[in-house]
Amino acid sequence: MEQVFKQEGLSYKTASERKRYINQNLMTKSDSVRRLADQRIAYLNWEESMINGDEIHNTTSDIPESAFGCFKTRMSPNKNNGYTPLVLLIPLALKVSTIDDCRDFYIRNLLDKTTIADIKKWRDDNLLHNPSIMSERG
């Protein structure tokens, strides 16, 4: 998908083709893959809503690559250590990526109602203990 959008840009045509691809190839997989597919389709629908007529929008993967780069610099170089609560930095960094996002983000409220036990439970429910092991969960 990334290659198509980089080469051809984002348009109604390319978004429709990618959504068709997602439906044909990902919706038949595990629950977690289907959830990811639903998120991708929702994202493409949102992006399509900003296209006027036959416009083609240029796209890039620089922002997600930077987000993962920030996370990787904080991870242990030992790949067998597994994930830590620092994995939560990825969505947090994206959530507060602009000054307007920061104005509406009240960290104290979140800190008051989230405990380390909550983070550990989420990690245990959603991530593998060792990132080098494949999961049946998908």
Instruction: Render pLDDT for 1-22 as a digit per residue (tens, 0 to 9).
Output: 777 887 888 889 999 999 999 9
| Residue 57 dihedral angles phi and psi, to the nearest 5° | -95, 135
Q: How far apart are CA 37 and CA 19, in angstroms?
A: 9
Does 36 score more than 80 pLDDT?
Answer: yes
Does 131 score more than 70 pLDDT?
Answer: no
3-class SS shares of the chain: helix, strand, coil, % to 5: 65, 0, 35
Q: 74-124, pLDDT tens digit by residue? A: 655 666 555 566 666 667 766 777 777 777 777 777 777 878 888 788 777
Residue 138: per-residue pLDDT: 45
Instruction: Return the structure tokens found at 80.
Output: 């067998």
| Residue 10 dihedral angles phi and psi, to the nearest 5° | -100, 120
Residue 128: per-residue pLDDT: 65
